Structure 1
Amino acid sequence: MGMNQKAGSIFLGQAENGEKQYLDLSRANRHGLIAGATGTGKTVTLQGMAESFSANGVPVFVADVKGDLSGVSMPGSPTFKHADTLEERAAKLGMEKYAYSDNPAVFWDLYGEQGHPIRTTVSEMGPLLLARLLDLNDTQEGVLQIIFRHADDHGLLLLDFGDLQSVLAWASENNKELSGTYGNVSRQSVGAIQRQLLSFESQGADMFFGEPALEIDDFFTTDEQGRGTINILAADRLMRSPKLYATFLLWLLAELFETLPEVGDPEKPKLVFFFDEAHLLFDDAPKALEDKIEQVVRLIRSKGVGVFFVTQNPIDIPEEIAGQLGNRVQHALRAFTPRDKKAIRAAANTFRINENLDVEEAITQLRVGEALVSMLMEDGAPSVVQRTLIKPPRSRLGPVTAKERAIIKSISPVEGKYDTAVDRESAEEVLLAKAADAAETAQEVEEKGEEEVRKKPRKTKTLWEKAGKAAAGAAASSAASILAAKIMGRKSRANPTRSAATSAAGTIATSLGGATAGRFVRNLIGGLMR
C-alpha cells in the first residue's frame, strides 16, 4: 500500500507538520462542508474527493454549476496550462504514482440538453414541494393540496404540467363542488396558482415533469473495474432558476431517503451527494422548512448517504444543519466586510482547537489549493484542525467538449432509457374526454330532447369501465408489487417504456387502491415537509 493510501479512507492532502490528512470512509455518511471564497480551490477539492470516492466503489452525485466538473470524466493532460503546478503539488505531497486518469461518469440535465433528462411526475413532487417551487402563500398551498386530494380520490394521474393545468382549469369552473367536499376553494386562489404555473413553465421547468420518471437506482452503478459512477448534473442553465435548482435537489434527497433501506453506519457510503451553491436551499426559506431540511439531513445518514454542502460562506448554512456536518474543508475567506469577519469567527469556532494554529488568521492567509481540514476520526470525534495542502485531481480541470460529452452520453448505461418522453393517458386526456362527452351530450339534448338522451349510456362511464376492466387483469400483480415495494421501503416506479402492465397499473390506480398508492409516493416528502 502506497504512502498516500490508508485502508478504508481517502487521501485529502498533507498538513504543514507533514501529517497526512484522510477522510475515513466509514464516517463519510456523517456529512461535510466545503467552503471558501470564489477562486480559492473549492471545485478542485470537490473534484479530487469525487475521484477518490469513485475509486473506492462509491457512486457520487454532483451538480456542475459552472460546467467545470464535467472534466472529471476525462484524464488530465501534461499539456494543460497548469499541469506543472499539479505535478509539482503531487510531488510535494509524495504522490509517487500520480498519473492522469478518467472516471466513469453519467451526464444528467433537467432540460435534456447536456445529458440524460431527469424527470419526476407532478404527483411524486407533491403539493408541498410544488408550493415551495411556485412560491405560493399558505392559502394557495391549501388549495393546491385540495387539488391533489381530488385527483387522488378520482384516479386522475398528475404526471406533467398539462395534467395539473387541466385539473386547475376544472377546479376553477367547479370550485363550488370542490368547496362543498374539501373546503373553501376560491377562483382567485386557483387563478393565482395558474399564473405562477405559467410563469414557471416559461422558464422551461415543465420539462422536469413527465415520464419516464427517474429510477433512483440508476445513480448507484459501478463500472467493470468496480469504480463508482460519478453522476454529473448540468446545472449552468438550471442556476438561472435557483428555486427550481434548490427544490429539485431537496426532492432528490427525499427520494433517496424513501428508496434506501436503513444501514446505520456502513463501512463506506452507498452514495455521496455534493450540494453546490448550498445557500440557495436556505434563501428565503421559512424556519419550518429549514427544520425539515435539518431532519432530512439528519435521517439520511442512516441510509448510507453522505451529503457535502459546498458554499462560499459557511454562515450561509443554518446552525442546526451546520452542526451535523462532521467533515470540514475550509478554504480561504476574505475579511472585507463585517459579515466576512463574522463568517471567519464562525468558521474558526467550528473546529477542534489546534494550539499551534491561529485559525482566524490562517483562514485569511490560505493560498489557492490550501485549506483548513478537520475530519471525523474512527471514534466519531473530529480531528484537530490542520492547515493542509490539498491533493491535485487526476482528471481534467475544466469542461469537456461537446463532442466528448456526446461520446460519453452514447456509451452511458442508461442511454435510450430516458431520452424520449412518453405521454400516456392521464388527467389531461381524461378531462378532455369528459369535456368532449359533455359537449356531445349537450348537443344531443338540444337536438333530441333530454328524455331521449337520458336513455342512452354515457360515454364517459363506458370509457372508465372499459379502461378498468381491460387493464385490471394485466396490471393487478404489477400494481400490487409497486404498492408492496412502497410499503417495504423499496422503489418500483411504473415505467411505460418497459411494460404495458405497469403502465396500465398507473392508469387504473383508482380501481386498485390508487388514491392510497398515490399518497404513498409522496408520504416521505409530505410527512417531512409538514
Structure 2
Amino acid sequence: MDSKVLDAARAAFPKAANSVTLGAVVHDGECHAEPLVTVPIPMMNRHGLIAGATGTGKTRTLQLLAEQLSTAGVPVFISDIKGDISGMGSPGVANDRITARATETGYDWKASDFPVEFLSLTGAKGAQLRATVSSFGPLLLSKVLQLNATQSSVMAMVFKYCDDKGLLLLDFSDLRAVLQYLTAEGADELKSYGGMSKATVGVLLREMVELEQQGAEQFFGEPEFDINDLMQVERDGRGLISVLELQDVQDKPDLSSTFMLWMLATLYNELPEVGDIEKPKLVFFFDEAHL
C-alpha cells in the first residue's frame, strides 16, 4: 500500500484507547490492518450517518458500534425492524468468513453476549412502551395527526382548557371525552377560549380513529415510559442496549413515527446540555432505511 496513504491514515486515526473501531483502511482494493479507522467515544455525541446500498452492511455496522459502546459503558438505544439486531443478546458463533475478516482488518473479535432489553410498541415482542396524551402536548400531537393550522389551534385550545381545569389526558378516550363534552354541555365553558366548531372536532376525532387503528390505543396510556430507563449501566460496567422491536408494526408507519417523534422531543426537552464529556450518557441509533 502507498506509504503516503498510510501516513495520512495514521495522522487521521491515531491510536486511542477510548474509541470505537469502524474498520480498516482500504486502498486500491487492498486492506491494511494498521491503522484501524476509529472514532473517539467522546465524539459519539455528534450526529452521524451510515449509508449504503442494500446488503452493504448498514445494520451490521450499527451492531458493531452498539456492541463496542456497550463494552465501554455507554447505554445505547437502537430500533430493529428486521429482527437481526436481537442476536446481540447471545454470543455469536465464529466461522471461517468471520475469522478471515477479523484477521484481515486486525480487529480483535471475540464472540460475546451483551446486556439487551427488548421494547415494543404493541407489547408483543418486548416490554410495552406507553406515553400519555398530555406528555405529547398539542404541537406534537397535531403534527402526528397531520392537522392544519386551524385544527392545530383548536387542539392547543383544548389542551389549555385541560391544563386550567387540572385534567390529565392519559389516552385517546380521555381526549375524545373532553372533545365531546366541549361541543355539547360544556360549550359555554369554552367561549372565553374562543370556541370551536363541531366540524373541526369531527376532523380531530376521525384522525384519532385512524391512528388508533394502527395501535395508538395500546401506546397511549399509563404507566408512561421513563427515558431514564434507557440510560442504565450494568453491574459489570457495560451499557444497556435497549432494542425497540418493530417487526410487528412494519405495516403501521404512523405508530412507529409517533413514538420516535415523542422520544426525540422528550430527550431534547428533559436532558441537560453537557457539551463534550468523557462518554455520552446515551447513543441513539435511528434505523430509517428499513421503515
**Shared fold per TM-score greater than 0.5:** yes
Distance in 2 between the 1:232 and 1:279 partners? 15
**Match of 1:21, SS?**
strand
Q: Tell me if 1:276 matches 2:287.
A: yes
Amino acid at match of 1:20: L
C-alpha deviation, 1:262, in angstroms: 2.5
Amino acid at match of 1:112: G
Q: Name the residue aligned to 1:52.
A: 68
Distance in 2 between the 1:269 and 1:186 partners? 48
**Match of 1:13, SS?**
strand
More helix by share: 1
Distance in 1 between the 2:219 and 2:25 partners? 44
C-alpha deviation, 1:174, in angstroms: 4.3
Q: Name the residue aligned to 1:12.
A: 22
Count of equivalent residues? 272
Q: Which among 57, 72, 78 is matched to residue 62 of structure 1?
A: 78
Q: Quick one: structure 1 residues 105 and 273, their matched pair in 2 at CA, closer, same or farther if it must change by over 3 Å? A: same
Q: Is the 8 Å Cα contact of residues 119 and 126 (structure 2) preserved in structure 1?
A: yes
Identity of aligned residues (%): 47
Q: Is the 8 Å Cα contact of residues 175 and 187 (structure 1) preserved in structure 2?
A: no
Q: Quick one: structure 1 residues 214 and 5, their matched pair in 2 at CA, closer, same or farther if it must change by over 3 Å? A: farther
Deviation per residue, 1:271-321 (Å, 9 max, x gap): 1000111697xxxxxxxxxxxxxxxxxxxxxxxxxxxxxxxxxxxxxxxxx
Q: Is the 8 Å Cα contact of residues 211 and 255 (structure 2) preserved in structure 1?
A: no
Q: Tell me if 1:138 matches 2:149.
A: yes
Between structure 1 and structure 2, the one with the greater Rg is 1
Q: Is the 8 Å Cα contact of residues 211 and 254 (structure 2) preserved in structure 1?
A: no
Q: Name the residue aligned to 1:91.
A: 103
Mapping for residues 22-61 of structure 1, pairs under 5 Å = 22-61=38-77
Q: Name the residue aligned to 2:200.
A: 189
C-alpha deviation, 1:240, in angstroms: 2.0
**Match of 1:32, SS?**
coil
Mapping for residues 293-304 of structure 1, pairs under 5 Å = none
Q: Is the 8 Å Cα contact of residues 80 and 245 (structure 2) preserved in structure 1?
A: yes
Distance in 2 between the 1:16 and 1:147 partners? 59
Deviation per residue, 1:43-66 (Å, 9 max, x gap): 000100000110100000001111
What TM-score do the two structures reach when normalised by structure 2? 0.88
Distance in 2 between the 1:278 and 1:92 partners? 29
Q: Name the residue aligned to 1:167.
A: 178
Distance in 2 between the 1:68 and 1:28 partners? 23
C-alpha deviation, 1:6, in angstroms: 2.9
**Match of 1:204, SS?**
helix
Q: Tell me if 1:100 matches 2:111.
A: yes
C-alpha deviation, 1:176, in angstroms: 4.0
Unaligned ranges ≥5, structure 1: 281-530
Q: Name the residue aligned to 1:283.
A: none
Amino acid at match of 1:58: V
Q: Name the residue aligned to 1:309.
A: none
Deviation per residue, 1:225-246 (Å, 9 max, x gap): 1000000001122332223322
Runs of 4+ in 1 over 6 A off after TM superposition: none
Amino acid at match of 2:155: L
Amino acid at match of 1:85: R
Q: Tell me if 1:118 matches 2:109.
A: no
Deviation per residue, 1:346-372 (Å, 9 max, x gap): xxxxxxxxxxxxxxxxxxxxxxxxxxx
Mapping for residues 317-336 of structure 1, pairs under 5 Å = none
Q: Name the residue aligned to 2:226.
A: 215
Distance in 1 between the 2:268 and 2:72 partners? 22
Unaligned ranges ≥5, structure 2: 1-13, 28-33
Q: Quick one: structure 1 residues 176 and 224, their matched pair in 2 at CA, closer, same or farther if it must change by over 3 Å? A: closer
Q: Is the 8 Å Cα contact of residues 119 and 127 (structure 2) preserved in structure 1?
A: yes
C-alpha deviation, 1:175, in angstroms: 6.8
Distance in 2 between the 1:84 and 1:231 partners? 30
Q: Quick one: structure 1 residues 211 and 242, their matched pair in 2 at CA, closer, same or farther if it must change by over 3 Å? A: same
Distance in 1 between the 2:191 and 2:65 partners? 56
Amino acid at match of 1:16: V
What TM-score do the two structures reach when normalised by structure 1? 0.49
Amino acid at match of 1:55: T
Q: Quick one: structure 1 residues 122 and 233, their matched pair in 2 at CA, closer, same or farther if it must change by over 3 Å? A: same
C-alpha deviation, 1:263, in angstroms: 1.2
**Match of 1:34, SS?**
coil
C-alpha deviation, 1:184, in angstroms: 3.5
Q: Quick one: structure 1 residues 144 and 174, their matched pair in 2 at CA, closer, same or farther if it must change by over 3 Å? A: farther
Mapping for residues 117-516 of structure 1, pairs under 5 Å = 117-174=128-185, 176-277=187-288
C-alpha deviation, 1:21, in angstroms: 0.2
Deviation per residue, 1:445-503 (Å, 9 max, x gap): xxxxxxxxxxxxxxxxxxxxxxxxxxxxxxxxxxxxxxxxxxxxxxxxxxxxxxxxxxx
Q: Is the 8 Å Cα contact of residues 78 and 242 (structure 2) preserved in structure 1?
A: yes
Distance in 2 between the 1:260 and 1:192 partners? 35
C-alpha deviation, 1:165, in angstroms: 1.2
Distance in 2 between the 1:85 and 1:5 partners? 26
Q: Is the 8 Å Cα contact of residues 75 and 241 (structure 2) preserved in structure 1?
A: yes
Amino acid at match of 1:71: G
Distance in 1 between the 2:290 and 2:92 partners? 31
